[in-house]
Structure 1
């Protein structure tokens, strides 16, 4: 029986084996033992490979994972369409050490324990020494396991700051479990050192199609870079130590210099093609249409099942998308001399093409008809059905069903790391270290590459792709932050960006908005409306998650984050 009192560090091995070995079908599960799993006669390491695959399952999977909602519904980019969901605790002050819809502490420490069990037990497996390929496979597995452990620590420090580092230890209830927290910098240094140590032992890039989803050398470089960016950002670098930004910049440059990745020509293909040039690491999922069913507008029926429309993007997100010229909609206004500017009476014309690939809005085409989010429309009927609160639904990640009659299974691997993110982070770090610069290796180069792929028009110098030469570092910083917002929407980036930039208290503590559309005959009128949804951020408390009370109460050396009981 599992002793739940010590659930963090002492998950019972038998229960863990049952979870890890669901594919072992040559004997009943109740007869699977530690000796069987780590069988010295298993010369191919089959059982151990199943255990490692189970550890992979602990990687982040962002689709509707918090009470049926995306994490972005706890940022200024979206709100949940339903009332009283767990995700709202992050925006209405209901989050605490006792209540948290994103239990990352327990899940990631459970995965770390599995990694340490692998470290402890895999040497018992005598892989077939006469076959070099099998021996090399074993070396890969050991390095992959260490990467995964570092990744789980990264997920913890994003949320909690410094956490206890266990090394290779597999603790039991007979050990002293009163472990103190390591510092945030200790944890970052551990992640970086692990990535450095295993880099040469991981699979080289590019990876064969049959191994896609396995950890490679460039993926380890990416995790290292992401950890260093987190360490350099204002939340964790209040003194703005440029040396930390320089380390992050150099690590990001190492990822770029591998030459393994590039921007996909098609923005949509990034999320629909299982193996492509841009995705560095993704959570591997079976072919499904659950993203469509969960998030498409509510008026569409797939067979006998209505789409659920769980995610309502905000007007703030929609307004962040520039015009086709790459300019803000507040400055590129339609006029007699500028007929392709923004028009409040036709607000979706002449906009960044990513808008229609990210958000369903009134007039979008889907399953053979136009989306109707005007008052009383089929996708905003105004009855008791859960429906959009903002006049918008999430469109990103979905295949093109504009003229289809039903959903069909699609690739929906959740992107954990992708190259566009790395380019934007490199631009951010370079801007902090060197300023915007000029020439071929300036910050402009990386932002313009992202905008060009998005279909932003070239324009003419000194304003190309909507970026004017001669920006100051603070002006470029705002451009980068907005580019991250529109490029990476719904990819679990905005929520963390607002925190690491330490601007959440300015962003959250003001109203969010949607669009109210009235249809009279064939004419449409648009009115921005304020949402009656609490949107609060209590600083400094909410910059970190609370360590669960269940952990604090049984470990006197585990200090709670600031502002929590």
Structure 2
């Protein structure tokens, strides 16, 4: 993509501007905001470079947390490099406080820096006479809405971590200003983000984009509506709506329950569906390899490389080096139903404990490398002493499994080759499951809820069955459908930074994260394989305080108006 390197690297703005011919006579230390937002720059080159810098604040989720996926701090995986100082292990064992929360997740300063950059852009872009047009108006107005979208995204990332945070509006504070700002309420933050999405949706690009090779990284109307739907889904969830960890505290959630919040979330998701421009790809694994596809609602550009394979691929292959960083848990493996859609503990599922990976939901094979799975022209060996689990001191799987998701199609090759590694921040399947969840909570398991879940299962390759319900039970209660939707999110969105937050917003973490993480030890005796469950990590979650992160210690110390979250 043309803008790939501009988006991936944080733009060294002053250097970029100093290199422009127009300003080569201006000393670098004299470059200021008027050189960036220049009333003579009809191409808007310098302003656009600045906007690229705002984009660079977006996180790329591939192995971003100390070299691991964030979901390795959930019940879905552990780090193969797990140890007391490993970042995801610190998170999953609750070994942090307000001044030791790992930097890769303590993103308060990162996102506020992004908000400040976005505000600078919003406040100054109007003076730039950009000649390029979109729908008859200067492209600068599209750029301005993009900056507001990014700002809204940054605020959401803060709110889901900390609860209510200070809202800056368009203000850019200087060193002489009093910045002892109090936190806004959770409700005020949600309303602000939603209002921003509503305000900008009609001035963004519209999917399908005319030049996707240049512009597929940019938010569209669908992106803004999807962000609104995600924000409202989180706001309607038990953690904030009826299960506030400090019931009378309006910083940590709503102070009363309102079922209408689920209705609002469902309506917002339906607005995206009704655009009629997004759809599920026929093949699940193609979603992460095919650029510019209609399932992508918003993404952060990666590159064409083999980084995912090199970091997470199984060990034991000379021509295809991998260090097996991510070890999926037995719990995640067991969450995948059979190919008939029934859970493995259903007596009618046909699950075979001696052949546990046979006839499973095809997403299992696309998500996890298990013993016997086809990979690199052979069948993976994760039994004790096998090619990819030789034991000894070499880093390798701790659970008997490796992550497969996001990787290229290397089942029948001898080595890895470069492929697209864009990080999908929002995709249509996620939105559909959010719609099913919100609609079920507000109206029960309606036909629309069933059809939405069925669409996900059908694409996955689950058999329709004689009743065309794809393994779903007819006449489910709301509680039963809730369990189905929650599990469907777990397996469909594994390793996409969904599970880590889902078990928090559903207030399940106090149960799931206070149980040992399990793997499997496979022992081969002759031609027989014996599968033995093993505990691989003792995780800990201190409820209720760990449902939200602590406000960074230094923010509380320097600001007398900054209230700390409960328990910290």
> What TM-score, normalized by structure 1, do the two folds share?
0.92
Quick check: 2:11–2:56 contact (8 Å CA) kept in 1? no
Output the CA distance in 2 between the equivalents of 1:52 and 1:274: 22
Is 1:92 aligned to residue 93 of structure 2?
A: yes
Post-superposition shift, 1:121?
Answer: 2.0
Deviation at 1:331, TM superposition (A): 1.0
Match of 1:337 in 2: none
* Structure 1 CA distance for aligned equivalents of residues 189 and 290 of structure 2: 35
Residue correspondence of structure 1 range 54-73 to structure 2 within 5 A: 54-73=53-72
Q: Where in structure 2 are the equivalents of 1:269-308 lying within 5 Å?
A: 269-302=286-319, 306-308=321-323
Contact 1:17 1:32 in 2 (8 A): no
- Work out whether residues 424 and 446 of structure 1, in 8 Å CA contact, stay in contact via their aligned partners in 2: yes
In the alignment, which of 332, 344, 359 is matched to residue 368 of structure 2? 359
Of residues 554, 559, 563, the one that matches 1:550 is: 554
Q: Distance in 2 between matches of 1:105 and 1:302?
A: 41
Q: What residue number does 1:328 align with?
A: 343
Q: How does 1:244-393 map to 2 (within 5 A)?
A: 244-302=261-319, 306-332=321-347, 341-393=350-402
2:445 and 2:136 map into 1 onto residues whose CA distance is 49
Shift of the 299–30 alpha-carbon distance from structure 1 to 2, 3 Å rule, reads farther
Partner SS state of residue 516, structure 1: strand
8 Å contact 2:80–2:327 — kept in the other structure? Answer: yes
Could you list the per-position Cα deviations for residues 448-496 of structure 1 after superposition, in whole angstroms to 9, with x for gaps in the alignment? 11001001001122x7211011100001100100010000000000011
Find the counterpart in structure 1 of residue 142 from structure 2.
140
Mapped partners of 1:23, 1:99: distance in 2: 37
For residues 385 and 205 of structure 1, do their structure 2 counterparts lie closer, same or farther at Cα, with a shift above 3 Å needed?
same
Once residues 449 and 17 of structure 1 are traced to their aligned partners in structure 2, the CA distance between those partners, rounded to angstroms, is 41
1:481 alignment partner in structure 2? 486
Question: 2:472, 2:295 → 1: CA distance?
Answer: 24
Relative to structure 1, is the Cα distance of residues 344 and 33 closer, same or farther in structure 2, using a 3 angstrom cutoff? same
Offset of 1:234 from its aligned partner? Answer: 0.4
The alpha carbon displacement at 1:25 in A equals 3.0
* Cα distance in 2 for residues equivalent to 1:422 and 1:366: 31
Q: Per the alignment, in what secondary structure is the counterpart of residue 64 of structure 2?
A: coil
C-alpha contact 1:127 1:134 (8 A) present in aligned 2: no
Q: Deviations over 1:27-84 (max 9, x none)?
A: 4865644332222211110110111111111123111111101000010000010132
1:200 positional shift: 1.5
**Distance in 2 (alpha carbons) for counterparts of 1:21 and 1:219:** 31
The 3 A distance-change label for structure 1 pair 350 and 243 is: same
Q: CA RMSD in A?
A: 1.8
Offset from partner CA, 1:348-398 (integer Å, 9 cap, x none) = 001000001000111122222221111011211111011111000110000
CA distance in 2, matches of 1:248, 1:147: 19
Counterpart-to-counterpart distance in 1, 2:29 and 2:392? 51
Deviation at 1:260, TM superposition (A): 1.1
Counterpart for residue 528 of structure 2: 523
Distance in 1 between residues matched to 2:177 and 2:32, nearest whole Å = 23
**Structure 1 residue aligned with 2:253:** none
Deviates more, 1:204-213 or 1:187-196: 204-213
Q: Which residue is equivalent to 2:544?
A: 540
Do the aligned partners of 1:139 and 1:201 also contact (CA within 8 Å) in 2? Answer: yes
Q: Which structure 2 segments of 5+ residues have no match?
A: 1-9, 243-255
| CA deviation string 1:304-350 (max 9, x = no partner) | xx31110000000000000001101011467xxxxxx1101000001
Secondary structure of the equivalent of 1:154? helix
- The match for 1:506 is 511
TM-score scaled by structure 2?
0.91
Query: For the residues of structure 1 that align with 2:507 and 2:14, how far apart are their CA atoms?
Result: 39
Give 1:20 deviation, angstroms. 6.9
Contact 2:262 2:438 in 1 (8 A): yes
| SS of equivalent to 2:287 | helix
CA distance in 2: counterparts of 1:523 and 1:362, whole angstroms: 13
Q: 1:479 to 1:17 in 2, by over 3 A?
A: closer
> Do the aligned residues in 1 keep the contact of 2:14 with 2:28 (CA within 8 Å)?
no
Matches of 2:233 and 2:488, distance apart in 1? 17
Contact 1:323/1:332 (CA < 8 Å) preserved in 2? Answer: no
Q: Does 1:437 align with 2:452?
A: no
Whether the 8 Å contact between 2:81 and 2:395 is mirrored in structure 1 is: yes
> How far apart are the structure 2 equivalents of 1:360 and 1:220?
35
Kindly indicate whether residue 120 of structure 2 is the aligned counterpart of residue 103 of structure 1: no
Deviations 1:414-453 (A, max 9, x none): 1111111111111111111111124xxx311011110010
Unaligned runs of 5+ in 1: 1-15, 335-340
Residue 511 of structure 1 and its aligned partner are, at CA, apart by 1.6
Q: Hey, what does 1:426 align to over in structure 2?
A: 435
Look up the match of 1:176. 178
Aligned residues: 535
In structure 2, C-alpha distance between the alignment counterparts of 1:172 and 1:316, rounded to whole Å: 50
1:560 aligns with 2:564: yes
Deviation string 1:81-119 (CA, Å, 9 cap, x unpaired) is 013211111121212111122121011011001001112
Residue 477 of structure 2 aligns with which residue? 472
Q: What CA distance in whole angstroms lies between the structure 2 residues aligned with 1:492 and 1:523?
A: 37
Give, in angstroms, the shift of residue 405 of structure 1.
Answer: 2.1
2:6 — aligned with what?
none
Cα distance in 2, alignment partners of residues 556 and 158 from structure 1: 23
- What's the CA shift for 1:302? 4.2
